Amino acid sequence: MKINKILVALLVVVVCSSLALSAAPKKAAKKASFLYFHKGDKFLTPQIGINSTTIPFGANFEYGLTENIGLGATLMVWLWSDFGYSASIINPSVEATYHFTKLNVEKLDLFAGAGLGYSIFSSDYGFGASGISLYPFAAGRYWLSKKLAVSLKLNFDLIGDWTGIGALLGVTLPL
């Protein structure tokens, strides 16, 4: 079962990367410098998740280590209650990203990476567990202006009780 999840995750990353790399470059149009990912850039992205159980919320911070490599941290929180019981998951994680800065797609920052975190589970009823989470992801930011982008991240949790495919929608603010 886990091998199937890993294969699906790898397939999605390969397909997304192939689509991104096959995007036709625009020779006449020149991207504005602020639309590129740069060394030293800092981004804050408040985000919400798309999930069948509940809507997680949180934020991501990313720092540009090089022209293509970013390092970040994410904190996501899930809260829900059912039949008089309540539960929560708090998931702090660190992420490494590779930005496809050589693509000449106006206003679009495409990237992929992986995150490693720890899911802290708490509930009134006795099932579920805390544990390590590992997730590859494919993502992108569409810049609306110098100070605002919308983001979409597709992630594939591979390890632990909280595995599965999810998506995060966010608003990115450069710092």
| Residue pLDDT tens, the chain, 175 long | 444 444 444 444 444 444 444 444 444 444 455 566 888 999 999 999 987 667 889 999 999 999 899 999 999 998 888 777 888 889 999 999 999 988 878 889 999 999 999 988 888 876 667 889 899 999 999 999 989 999 999 998 887 666 778 899 999 999 9
Q: How many CB atoms lie within 10 A of CB 109?
A: 23
Give CA–CA dist 71/65, Å, rounded.
7
* Paired tokens of 152: 């979409």
Q: Which H/E stretch holds residue 173?
A: strand 164-174
Read off the DSSP letter of residue 160: S
Give CA–CA dist 149/140, Å, rounded.
10
Buried b (16+ CB within 10 A) or exposed e, 2-11: eeebeeebee
Nearest Cα to Cα of residue 34 among 141, 140, 147, 110: 147
Give CA–CA dist 114/96, Å, rounded.
6
So what's the architecture of 2-22+38-174 in CATH? Beta Barrel (2.40)
